[in-house]
Amino acid sequence: MLTDFKTSTDLLKDVYICYERATKEKKKKKKDDEDEPHWVEVVTEVLLSLLLLQSHLGRVITTTVFKAILGHMTPTAVGLITDVLIPKKVGADDAGGVLVDTGAGGDEDDDENELEDVDDTSGEDEAENSNEEDMEADEDDDEEEEEEVDETFRKSVKEALGKAAADKEDESEEEELPDLSDSEMFQLDDMLAEVFRQKKLAGGKKARQEKKKETDNFRIRVLDLVETVIKSERCGDFVIDLLKPVLLLMLKTNPVENQVLCDKSKSLFALLRSKAKGQKDSIHSEDYHKNVLIELIELAQSVVDSNHLQAVAAACFTVMNLSCGDINKTSPALPFHYVDLLRETLHNVIK
């Protein structure tokens, strides 16, 4: 409210509309309202926007409110959260394209949506107190870095000019610069153009690196919401919605570039598998479960790393062991449609 009043008032208006929809009794739902998003989906979008703010308080408020509305969550609302986690530019074959190459080659184009830094739990309290000091320090660092970049660029231009460059000591003297031939002028133009092109590329690379860092840090914050869902009583209803996005994030993240995001995604994947044991999905159908399993099997066919393949196999086991609808799974036997699917997959692999 104190830093961005207009945005805050707009968000409060949306929240108030959601409050009215959630509390008032509706006798009949109009046809015009069928296309409108559920109130919990709107609130989820508001909470995600709060995570974009560079504020520890916003993060705390988001987690608190999210826990309060967790009982009303829908698969669509959970999908808004997981959309942030799934690496972009996957293409039509979203099952496997992003997993073969886990290097930094495609990371710059993959991440486009998110922000902020992440702190360990032990340092969260200190982060709020030192926020202003960090901002001032960042400004000072930016100024120093700009000076360094300008000096480097100045040296590059001077090297490109060669003899045509004037020394600072000679700037005050009235001395004629050497005449250059047309060919020398053209060569000089090309060299200067190359210097400016390199400067532009360096600036773009730096911007992409900063954007990727902000994207990864935002994903870490969103994983806090995922962890809240996993640890809740409604975990069983959303295992199928969380499993693949968390798996893709875990396989896509390069530990060299972001160890924190890599470790957190791995720990949440293990926690999700552990919590899914004995859980019951009362929302999704058997066909939906089967389709997810097919996607995971297709994903396994494109994975080249053995550790990644084990993770995909573990995800498949999680789906097959998850009870669906009114089914009371009392025996370890797999449903027949899973057996047929696995038999068909093995047949395709063997032939």
pLDDT tens per residue across span 105-154: 444 444 444 434 434 443 444 444 444 444 444 555 555 544 455 666 56
Q: Which residue has the higher pLDDT, 1 or 257?
A: 257
Q: Would the pLDDT of 280 be above 80?
A: yes
What CA–CA distance (Å, rounded) separates 192 from 185?
Answer: 10
Q: Would the pLDDT of 250 be above 70?
A: yes
184 pLDDT tier (thresholds 50, 70, 90) = low
99 pLDDT tier (thresholds 50, 70, 90) = very low
Q: Write down the pLDDT at residue 336.
A: 55
**CB-based burial of residue 326 (10 Å sphere; 0-12 exposed, 13-18 middle, 19+ buried)?**
exposed
Q: Which residue has the higher pLDDT, 271 or 346?
A: 271
Q: Write down the pLDDT at residue 134.
A: 47
**CB-based burial of residue 82 (10 Å sphere; 0-12 exposed, 13-18 middle, 19+ buried)?**
buried
Give me the residues paired with residue 324 across strands.
281
The one-character DSSP state at 74 is -
Name the residue among 39, 43, 85, 37 with its Cα closest to residue 64. 43
What CA–CA distance (Å, rounded) separates 206 from 310?
Answer: 36
- Backbone region of residue 181 per phi and psi (left: phi > 0; alpha: psi in -120 to 50; beta: other values): beta
Q: What is the mean pLDDT of residues 86-98?
A: 46
Q: Which residue has the higher pLDDT, 277 or 193?
A: 277
Q: Average model confidence (pLDDT) for the chain?
A: 72
Q: Write down the pLDDT at residue 101.
A: 38
Q: Which amino acid is residue 113, in one-letter code?
A: N
Q: Write down the pLDDT at residue 153.
A: 59
Q: Any alpha helices (H) in 258-334, and if so which ranges?
A: 259-276, 286-302, 306-320
Find the farthest-apart pair of alpha carbons in the chain and give their distance in angstroms, rounded.
Answer: 97
Residue 321's contacts (CB-CB under 8 Å, 6 or more residues apart) are: 276, 277, 329
Q: Write down the pLDDT at residue 158.
A: 61
Q: Tens digit of pLDDT for each residue in 216-229?
A: 889 999 999 999 99
**CB-based burial of residue 77 (10 Å sphere; 0-12 exposed, 13-18 middle, 19+ buried)?**
buried
What CA–CA distance (Å, rounded) separates 142 from 133?
Answer: 14
Four-residue CA torsion sign, 252, 258, 261, 262: positive
Provide, rounded to the nearest whole percent, the portion of the chain with pLDDT above 90: 23
Q: Would the pLDDT of 301 be above 80?
A: yes
Q: Would the pLDDT of 347 be above 60?
A: yes
232 three-class SS: coil
Q: Write down the pLDDT at residue 203.
A: 66
User: Rounded to 10 degrees, what is the CA torsion of 86, 90, 96, 98?
Assistant: -80
